[in-house]
Amino acid sequence: MDKTNRNHSIQCTVDACKYHCDNADYCALSQIRVGTHEKNPKEVQCTDCESFETLR
Ligand code: SF4
């Protein structure tokens, strides 16, 4: 995949993700999936990028 791609619709600061743009705070994917690990999410911390993959 092209990690220089800046998807301007998906800002992201998680540079520990293998899909993070290598030169700016954007995701390099064309789309992502967002979900939650809570039954009744009430705060931003309750949501997750489910497209995240670790660098290692
Ligand atoms: S997949 Fe999710 S966590 Fe990874 S760079 Fe894209 S938006 Fe960020």
The Cβ-side half-sphere exposure at 55, using a 13 Å CA radius, reads 8
Q: Tell me the pTM.
A: 0.92
Tens-digit pLDDT profile for residues 28-55: 999 999 999 999 999 999 999 999 999 9
Ligand 1 atom nearest to 15, measured from its CA: 5
- 3, 29, 50, 53: residue to mutate for ligand 1 pocket, most atoms within 8 A of CB: 29
Q: Domain segments of the chain: what residues?
A: 7-49
Question: Ligand 1 centroid vs 3 CA: distance in angstroms?
Answer: 11
Identify which of 43, 52, 56 has the alpha carbon closest to the alpha carbon of residue 19. 52
Q: Provide the pLDDT for residue 56.
A: 78
Q: Whole-number mean pLDDT of the chain?
A: 97
Q: What is the whole-number distance in angstroms between the Cα of residue 33 and the centre of ligand 1?
A: 9
Percent of the chain with pLDDT over 90: 96
Taking the CA of residue 21 as reference, the ligand 1 atom at the shortest distance is 5
For residue 37, the model assigns a pLDDT of: 98
17-22 long-range contacts, CB within 8 A, separation 24+:
17/49, 17/52, 17/53, 17/54, 17/55, 18/53, 18/54, 18/55, 19/51, 19/52, 19/53
